[in-house]
Chain A
Amino acid sequence: MNPETQSREPRRAKKPLNGNHVPSEVIDSARSGASPSVAPASVHALMGWYETPGELYKACEALRDAGYQRFDAHTPFAVHGLEHAMGLRPSRLPWIVLGGGLFGLVGSVLLAWYTQGVDYPQNISGKEAFSYQAFIPVFFELTVLCAAFATFFGMWSMNKLPRFFHPVQTHPSFERATDDLFFISVEAADPKYDRVATKRLLASLGAHELCEVGS
């Protein structure tokens, strides 16, 4: 969903992390190696959870309609149609895949043409040195391979993966996002973000355990 970025907004004052069982100092020191960090911990997002996908869906619609852009949903399984409720734009990944596929196609044609036609032509059962028919499986396979690599690595880089820590993991109940709870996180970097108003909006839609998480 929305890729995580460091907040460029003026840093908000450090607040006690409500119910957070991982002290931010521990996280900071874990991130920056052994040395105790002096950087102030910042609020990443306001998080809470819903009991059903339906409630989460309505909350996403409410955030979208209120003009929020930097928020995310964390669910144990795919909730169909959630991307519409969140107002997400279509992914740019298909274009990366297309580029990968075209690269594989053009690259394999050049490879076959240069090695078989120019650099080291051979007479194989009387056929032309560069017989494109023989290489169509190669063109096909390399197109598919490069498109698959583009999909895989494109997805990872667009999601800024791999990473070993994300602030949303510090929510006390977050492990249940893989089990039975439907989480929502509204980033503090969202221009519409207001600690009180956002919290009130989410709470009015039935959110539980609302708290700010940070790093």
Chain B
Amino acid sequence: MSTPINDASKARITSLDPARAKKLVGAATALLVASVALSIVAALVDRQRFAFSYLTGFVWLATIGLGALFFVLIQHLTRAGWSVIPRRQLEWLTGLLPASAALFLPVAFFAHDLYHHWMGPEAHGDPLIQKKAAYLNPTFFFVRAAVFLAVWSGLSLWFWRTSRKQDESGDKELTLRMAARSAPAIILLGLTLTFAAFDWLMSLDPHWYSTIYGVQVFSGSAVSSLAALALLTLALERKGILEGITTVEHRHDIGKLLFGFTVFWAYIGFSQYLIIWYGNIPEETVYFRERWEGPWKVVSLVLVFGHFVVPFIALISRTAKRSRFVLGAAAALILAMHYVDIYWLVMPTLGERGAVPSWVDVCGLIGPLSAGLLVIARRAAGGPLYPVRDPRLAESLQFQNT
């Protein structure tokens, strides 16, 4: 099909300017060093609060990486043409997963503070937890965590390296191999993400359970990774780096996905709420009672409006999805709200004082955040900004929304 709009033959910038790349990596490294120092101070001052704050920050970062891995796999699985260019930014984001394997160490260190209900001695007198002990015991917990992190890092690194290998060789066989492996990979990702959500978040209150919990965490990771992708793409466009490579058409599609998954997040969140509200069984409703009383009600309302109502209305129009400003603002809001979402899952364990933000929360976030920025900066600096020799690159360059 000939559409004389985009001309793929012109020479274009394919990688970051080395000086700028070095500056980015340097800034991220400095931030990481500062954040380690801050984290140690916070952990010494308020160990318990810091453990929970760090878990929030860690899960926030890991879920963005998981959502990005999900979309990389989906693009291979569906042999998508339009997304070849933005796939590279998603591949940068999957770098958050190997980083998460290292960032999990503090969670393991604080595990007894976080999961004392079932890890500590109080579990022995609790018949309900005794029934769950075959699954919910420290040894199996750490084995599972190791498996999850190994699977995620392995998948993320294999797909990243294969894609980078194709940048060098242009071997079309690699595209087929990635498509073939994406199918089993996505099954593994679905299972590990669900059980990681059970282990790391739902077990904070070991009496309570919800079968939709994994999907809820997944919906948050999908929407947040799209928000991160939108911001990365806009940042590159703003510097004029991807000029003529990513177009308004790619932005429009990222906006559509962001809009759709915003609705999906609300849909799943409400599905969980409706069933528990309708059943009205005290051991289930306690989850929402904790989050709908006192200061937590404010946090819940912020989520309903900030994570759903406002982005939904802001992104509903085609013009809004194609606008740099509206898409960027909505993406920034959703990324911030994803933090609030994880906070809403984790912090009620601390009771009412958990609802009041503290400087320790900032310390818990800044470590994972700066590690994530460092990974993204290194990947951005280390190679082409889009898959330069992907066989479907021309299709992506010429992509048009009808």
Contacts and interface: CB of A to CB of B under 8 A. Distances in A.
A92 B402 CA distance: 15
B5 A81 contact: yes
Nearest to A55: B2
Nearest to B2: A54
B41 interface: no
B3 A79 contact: yes
Interface stretch (B54-62, B133-141, B148-156, B273-281): B273-281
Given A133-B273, A133-B277, A137-B274, A78 B402 contact: yes
Instruction: Give the interface size bracket for A toward B.
Output: 10 to 19
A133 B274 contact: yes
Contacts of B280: 125-126
Secondary structure class of chain A's binding surface, majority of residues:
helix
A94 B316 CA distance: 10
A81 B3 contact: yes
Interface in A74-96: 78-81, 84, 90, 94
Interface of B: 1-5, 270, 273-274, 277-278, 280, 316-318, 398, 400, 402
A71 interface: no
A82 to B, nearest CB: 9
A136 B270 contact: yes
A134 interface: yes
A59 to B, nearest CB: 13
B278 A52 contact: no
Contact of A80 (B1, B274, B317): B1
Secondary structure class of chain B's binding surface, majority of residues:
loop
Nearest to B316: A98
Interface in A26-78: 52-54, 57, 78
Nearest to B273: A133
B75 to A, nearest CB: 20
Given A80-B402, A94-B318, A57 B3 contact: yes
Contact of B2 (A52, A125, A133): A52
A78 B4 CA distance: 15
A97 to B, nearest CB: 10
Contacts of A78: 402
A81 B316 CA distance: 22
A79 B1 contact: yes
A69 B116 CA distance: 73
A90 B402 CA distance: 11
